[in-house]
A and B are shown apart, each in its own frame.
Chain A
Amino acid sequence: MNKFIVSPSPHAYTGESVPKLMYGVIIALLPALAVSVWFFGIGMIVVSSVSIASCILFEYLIQRYVMKVQPTHLDGSALLTGLLLAFCLPANIPFWMVMIGALAAVGIGKMTFGGLGNNIFNPALVGRVFLFISFPVAMTAWPEVGQWMQYTDAVTGATPLGLMKEGLAFKTVGEIMPEVPSFFHLLTGKMMGSAGEVSALALLLGMLYMMYRKIISWHIPVSILGTVLIFTGILWLANPDRFADPLFHLLTGGLMLGAIFMATDYVTSPMTGKGMIIYGVGIGVVTVLIRIFGAFPEGVQFAILIFNGFTPLINKFVKPTRFGKEVSRG
Chain B
Amino acid sequence: MSLKTFSRGGVHPPEHKLSSGLTIEELPPPDVVVIPVSQHLGAPAKVLVKRGDQVLIGQLIAQSDGFVSTNIHSSVSGKVLKVDQFMDSSGYRKLAVQIEVEGDRWMEDIDRTDDLVKNTVLQTADIRKKILEAGIVGLGGATFPSHVKLMVPKGKTAEYLIINGVECEPYLTADHALMMERTDEVFAGILVLMKGLGVDKAIVGIENNKPDAIAKMKQVVQGSNVLVQGLKVKYPQGGEKQLVQALLKREVPSGGLPIDVGVVVFNVGTAFAAYEAVNKNRPLIDRVVTVTGKSVEKPSNFLVRIGTPVSYLVEKAGGVPGNTAKVINGGPMMGKAISTLDIPVVKGSSGILLIGENEARRKETQTCIRCTKCVTVCPMGMEPYLLMTLSEKSLFERMESEKVMDCIECGSCSYTCPSSRPLLDYIRLGKSEVGKIIRARKAV
Contact = CB atoms under 8 A, between A and B. Distances in A.
Interface in A286-330: 319-329
A67 to B, nearest CB: 13
A322 B342 contact: no
Contact of B360 (A5, A115, A321): A5
B254 A327 contact: yes
A325 B254 contact: yes
B59 interface: no
Nearest to B385: A271
B370 A267 contact: yes
B370 A266 contact: yes
A324 B251 contact: yes
**What size tier do the contact residues of chain B reach?**
35 or more
Interface string B409-422: 10110111111101
B103 interface: no
B175 to A, nearest CB: 19
B83 to A, nearest CB: 24
Given A11-B326, A266-B372, A322-B403, A16 B416 contact: yes
Nearest to A3: B339
A16 B418 contact: yes
Interface stretch (A17-25, A99-107, A136-144, A170-178): A17-25
Given A2-B324, A21-B371, A324-B406, A8 B425 contact: yes
A137 to B, nearest CB: 36
B21 interface: no
Interface in B365-405: 366-373, 375-376, 378-383, 385-386, 403
B415 A17 contact: no
A323 B8 contact: yes
B256 A324 contact: yes
A279 to B, nearest CB: 12
B340 interface: yes
A115 B368 CA distance: 11
Given A17-B418, A324-B406, A327-B254, A6 B371 contact: no
A323 B255 CA distance: 10
Given A8-B422, A327-B255, 9 more contacts: A4-B325, A8-B424, A8-B425, A9-B330, A11-B355, A13-B420, A322-B381, A326-B253, A327-B254
18 contacts: A1-B342, A2-B320, A2-B324, A5-B360, A6-B339, A8-B337, A9-B335, A11-B332, A12-B332, A13-B415, A14-B11, A14-B415, A14-B418, A18-B366, A18-B369, A271-B375, A325-B251, A325-B254
